[in-house]
Structure formats: structure tokens, C-alpha cells
Amino acid sequence: MCGIVGYIGNNAVAEELLSGLKSLEYRGYDSSGIALNDNRKIIVFKASGKLSNLNAVLHEKNVEDYSSFMGIGHIRWATHGAPSIENAHPHLSNDGNLVLVHNGIIENYKELRQKLQNQGVVFHSQTDTEAAVHLFAEEYKKCGSLEQAVRNGLPQLKGAFAFVIMHHAESDKIIAVRKNAPLIIGCGKNENYVASDIPALLGKVNHIIHLDDDEMAVVKKNEVIVKYINGQVVQKEMEKVDMAADVISKNGYAHFMLKEICEQPAILRRVIQSHVQNQTIYLDDAKINVDFDKVKKIVIVACGTSLHAALVAKKVWEEWLKLPVQVEAASEFIYQTNLLDENSLVIGVSQSGETADTITALKLAKKYQSQIMVLTNRVDSSIVRYASSIVPLNAGVEISVAATKSYMAQLVAFYWFGLLFAQKLNKISELDWQQKLQILIQLPEKIEEILSHQNDIESIAQRLTRYSAVVFMARGFNLPTAYEAALKLKEISYINANAYPAGELKHGPIALLDKNMPVLALFEQGQNAPKLLSNCEEAKARQAPVIGIGGEKCSDIFNEYIETPEVDACFSPLLLCVPVQLLAYFTAKALNREIDQPRNLAKSVTVE
Ligand code: M6R
């Protein structure tokens, strides 16, 4: 949700900024821009659309001819104002002296804009950000110091922001500020960087400083000083960059999404190896401070794909733990009466750890003294600051906007933790526990078997491109898989996909069915399979093409069938998610979509 970068040092500044932005493209791709401080003059370059457009502009304007030693850059996911050049960052003050890039939302921008306009300030964009640049510029006129101007302006801003700011007259420093939006400083030798996320710094620096909320950094070529917004210096630890430089390579795959889908067995094997020793589960890398005996209710908050993982957890945990598990879309959590107290365990699930809705929900839960746990793929992210227990997903960096391997890692974490929890609460026999563990251990091989049938799934996907809408249905453990399948297909192929409990179809959605509306049914072992088959018959009777996905094919009524290895129903969401990911991927590929960067989306959604 917008990526920002800054560089000060002796390298070619535009190149440094561009390569940083390239690694942050997953955060947005509506427009991009950079600003250089060239001999005490601010020069801004912008382009709408993908970063490649900015690259072309820089090339055309011979950016290499500028002799700058510092600059800032931005890649935008539009919130306020269309994805146009005028709304693209960096935003420049009217005197052309002060320039900034912003990630987040300035909630009181309308009031500020009005106030500044009343003072005669002219605005040029529809963004919330522009209010900040003019505010800081007005403050600068009063005090003549960038650091002081920023310090004076910040208390007047409400909302979430990370800023990187430069002034033409202070060509030795960049100011970086953080409040509820991620920002890190990359510390090099005779050069320093600022970025929204670590991938922008890979291969450039070995050490970073994480800024916390309400901190600002004065970043110079040879020093970084971090201060609270009141000016008091903060002693910050430098952390070693713990991420391989090649994590952001496609490794020969056509898209990151396919690479990430195919990584799933390896991730599972790695997680299993690190968690299971002598038939016992260890969550050594997790920081778990849960008072298990105190937990009377579990609430899980999440968004999008993470929400679907939570819905699987509800079904599995309620069966295993015999405890009520409530799952809420994080964005709705703050609008309802939540019956929370210190006996509640509230779990936030977030791949990125930066999702504003999920963080806000956890902040609210904290007020009720509930125990807070997070499951995240980014233990260096903002969300961990709100939790006393942290379970890392260890899926590796996920670049494709469509979440796949992180979903698998979330599911596995829920199953591990469910087993651990059930054991602590004495809710599971030793035998049952061992059997469940064995099922988990055998999963990577079964997923590999599904992956080996990619060609068959690709052919079905090609036929799916004929339709403009599809329906997914399931019963039992795989209803959340159906929701996830629909989300995946929608977000990358733009085919309208809806998912329903199979029994609900006859209560309304069946009216949609005809020969142009395929129905995809997700089968699991057990008593619900015959009923699901009847629902397929009902769909077929309305001429809908029926595609089955699951264990051994149980009827001839299917137009197409994707067979998956047999597994106990309770664990089947861990398998069935894979064919639906592949189906979405190959459908989008056949339609020639921008698979890794679907329109209107961003990887981390840092606004509510
Ligand atoms: O980083 P998070 O897990 O908190 O992200 C939540 C959703 O924004 C995310 O899952 C989104 O739905 C993905 N595009 C799904 O593929």
C-alpha cells in the first residue's frame, strides 16, 4: 500500500531509488515518482501506471546527467485521488523547496487543506498527502529548519503515515518519520537508505534500524540519528538483515504466484522438520505467552485470505478444543459489541503484518485486557508490537499479490497450534494426537502429487475462461476453501466467482444457474459427500456445467474432475487449496492477466 524509499550517498541516486521501488512494486503500482536534490534544486520525475513507465521517463529525461547525492521515491496504491500524474508522489511545495513521499492516510486532510487554502496556499492534486507538504513548507518558512518544521507540523496531522522528506537548502539530510505505517533505515558505509520494507534494501546493506511509531530519523550520508517527535534522541539497536537477496527472484517460473504455489511442499517440509522432533511438536521459534488455562473463548480477526485460514481454524479448533471460536473480518470488529475480557484469547492473522484493519482490531482487543497472539509471515512487521505471543509462519517472502504459500503456512500454523493447545488442555488422547501428527507429516508428498497434475488443471482452466461468472460450493471443512477459491479466481482472473455453503444454493443462488454458470464443488471424505453430490445433481439439472474437486471421483455426473489424494476430512483444506490456487493461476494466465500485480490491489493494505 504505497512503497517509499530514500537514498543519500555517492551512488547514482535515481538508479538506487528505482531498484528500491522495483522491490516494493507489490505494495502498489498505480503511479510512481522520484525527487532528486540536485545542487540545491529539487527535481521531480513522475509517471502514472507501472514502474516501467517511470523508467522510460527517466531515460527520456537523461536522469543520469543530474549530479545528485540524495533523493526520495514512491510507488503508489491510490487512496485519495485517481492514479494520475498530478496525484503521483513526490509532492512538492509551491516554492519548489520542500518535497516528500508518504505512505498511509492523513485523516484530517480536508480541514488542513481548507485551513491552508484560507492562507492562500494553492493545491494541485486530490491527494491527502498534499496537505502535509504544504503544512511542512509553511512551518519551514517560520523556523528555517527542516527537522523543526517537521516536528512542528506532525502534531497537526491525524491518521497513519510514514514520510520521507527533503529540503533543497539542507542537502545533507533526509528526514524519515513513522506513525502507524512501516519504515526502516538501511545503514551502509558512506551511504544510508530509507524504505517501507526490507526487500528494497536487499543486497545493499547488511544492517537496518526499525523505526517505531512517533519516531523520526535524521538520515545523513555518514550518520543516522533517531529521535522521538519531541526531539529527544532515542538509542536504537541496529539489526542484521536476515533475508537472502534471491528471495525476490522468480527462479525461472513465469510468475511469482506459480513459484510460490510450487514452494508449498518445501515450506511444509521445512516447518515440519523444525517443529517435530521425537514425535513431539516444538514451536521453538514462536514466542508463546498464553495462559492456556485462562482461555474461555477464542476470537480470530483477519482479512482476505487470512480470514479464510481463520475460518478453517474455527472448524478444526472447535472440534479439537471444544472451545467457542469466533472469527471476524477485522474491518468489522470495531463496529460491533465484542464480549471480550481477560479470559479471551484474541488472535490476529496477517501475512504482511501491516494490515491496518487487523492491527486496529487488535488494539481494541488490548483495551479489554485480552491475551493477544499474532500469526504472521513478517515477524519484523508492525502487528507484532500489539501481541504478547507471536507465531511466525516461516513461508518466506511472498511477492505475488495473491496469497498462496502464506495461506498454506497459516493453515499449518493453526493445525500445529491446535494440536499443542489440545494437548495442554487435555482435550486429545495420545493416540489421536499421534495420528494427527502423522497426517501432517505426510502432507508435502500429497501436495507434490497435486502439483504433478498441473497440465490437467491448466486444460480445465482454459475451458473456464469461456465463462464470466462461476460458483464454488462446499460443505463442512472446505467451505472456507470455497471462499478462498472464489477470492483467488476473482482477484487475478477478474471472473466473478462466488462461494456458498452447498446447502444454501437452493435458498436463492440456484436462480443464477444455467449453461453459462459452472459450479465447482469441493468434496471431502465423510457424511457430507452424498449431500454435496445431490447438490451437484441439482446444478446439473439446471444445465450448469459441474466441476468436482476432491478425492476419488464418486460419480459420472461431472463435466470435469480434479482428483486429489485422499486425506481425513479435517485436514483436507490443506490439500484442496492447492488445485484451486492452480485453477485460478492458469485461468488468469490463459486470459493474459497481470497475475502478480492484479488491478486495483496491493500486497499490504495499510489503510482502513
Ligand atoms: O497481509 P494480510 O494477510 O493481513 O492481508 C490480508 C489481505 O489483504 C490479503 O489476504 C488479500 O486478500 C490477498 N490479496 C489475497 O490473495
Cα(60) to ligand 1 centroid in Å equals 37
Residues annotated catalytic, as ranges: 2, 603
Q: Ligand 1: which of 26, 301, 328, 351 to mutate, most ligand atoms within 8 Å of CB?
A: 351
For residue 410, give the ligand 1 atom closest to its CA: 3
> How confident is the model over 5-24, as pLDDT tens digits?
999 999 999 999 999 999 99
pLDDT above 90 covers what percent of the chain? 80
The side-by-side arrangement of strands in the sheet containing 344-350 is: 325-329, 297-302, 344-350, 371-376, 389-392
Rg (CA), the chain: 26
Q: Which residue from 398, 450, 382 is spatially nearest to 214, judged by alpha carbons? A: 382
Distance CA(210)–CA(186), nearest Å, equals: 9
For residue 488, give the ligand 1 atom closest to its CA: 16
Of residues 51 and 82, more confidently modeled: 51
- pLDDT at position 564 is 97
Q: Which residue from 146, 212, 204 is spatially nearest to 175, judged by alpha carbons? A: 146
> How confident is the model over 382-414, as pLDDT tens digits?
888 899 999 999 998 899 999 999 999 999 999
CB atoms within 10 A of CB 514: 9
Mean pLDDT value of segment 409-436: 92
Distance CA(232)–CA(93), nearest Å, equals: 28
Virtual torsion, Cα 395, 400, 403, 408, nearest 10 deg: -30
pLDDT band at 602 (very low <50, low <70, confident <90, very high): confident
- pLDDT at position 327 is 97
- pLDDT at position 310 is 98
> Ranked by mean pLDDT, which of 24-33, 270-279, 477-486 comes out on top?
477-486
Does 105 have pLDDT greater than 90? no
Q: Ligand 1: which of 306, 328, 406, 608 to mutate, most ligand atoms within 8 Å of CB?
A: 306
Which ranges of 546-607 does DSSP label H, i.e. alpha helix?
Answer: 573-590
Does 276 have pLDDT greater than 90? no
Q: Which residue from 43, 46, 351 is spatially nearest to 197, judged by alpha carbons? A: 351
pLDDT band at 246 (very low <50, low <70, confident <90, very high): low
Read off φ and ψ for residue 77, nearest 5 degrees.
-115, 110
Distance CA(422)–CA(520), nearest Å, equals: 34
User: Which residue puts its alpha carbon closest to atom 14 of ligand 1?
Assistant: 402
User: Which residue puts its alpha carbon closest to atom 4 of ligand 1?
Assistant: 350
> How confident is the model over 140-183, as pLDDT tens digits?
999 999 999 999 999 999 988 999 999 999 999 999 999 988 89
Whether a cis peptide bond, with omega within 30° of 0, leads into 90 is: yes
> How confident is the model over 318-333, as pLDDT tens digits?
999 999 999 999 999 9
Q: Helix %, strand %, coil % for the chain, to 5?
A: 40, 25, 35
Does 77 have pLDDT greater than 90? no
Residue type, 294: K
- pLDDT at position 33 is 97
Tally DSSP H helices, then E strands, for the chain.
16, 26
DSSP symbol at 506: G
Mean pLDDT value of segment 117-143: 97
For 212, residues 6+ apart whose C-beta sits below 8 A from its C-beta are 178, 385
Mean pLDDT value of segment 412-426: 91
> Ligand 1: residues within 6 Å at CB?
303-306, 350-352, 355, 358, 401-403, 491, 601, 604-605
Distance CA(300)–CA(328), nearest Å, equals: 6
What residues pair up with 375 in beta bridges, in sequence order?
349, 391
Of residues 277 and 479, more confidently modeled: 479
pLDDT band at 66 (very low <50, low <70, confident <90, very high): confident
Q: Ligand 1: which of 303, 391, 397 to mutate, most ligand atoms within 8 Å of CB?
A: 303
Virtual torsion, Cα 312, 313, 315, 316, nearest 10 deg: 120
Does 252 have pLDDT greater than 70? yes
Q: Which residue from 80, 94, 167 is spatially nearest to 126, judged by alpha carbons? A: 80
For residue 302, give the ligand 1 atom closest to its CA: 4
Cα(604) to ligand 1 centroid in Å equals 7
Cα(302) to ligand 1 centroid in Å equals 9
- pLDDT at position 244 is 73
> How confident is the model over 282-320, as pLDDT tens digits?
777 778 888 988 999 999 999 999 999 999 999 999 999
> How confident is the model over 501-552, as pLDDT tens digits?
999 999 999 999 999 999 999 999 988 999 999 999 999 999 999 999 999 9
Does 566 have pLDDT greater than 70? yes
Cα(263) to ligand 1 centroid in Å equals 18
> How confident is the model over 570-597, as pLDDT tens digits?
999 999 999 999 999 999 999 999 999 9
As a whole number, the mean pLDDT across the chain is: 93
| pTM metric for this prediction | 0.85
Burial class (CB in 10 A: 0-12, 13-18, 19+), 430: exposed
Does 248 have pLDDT greater than 80? no
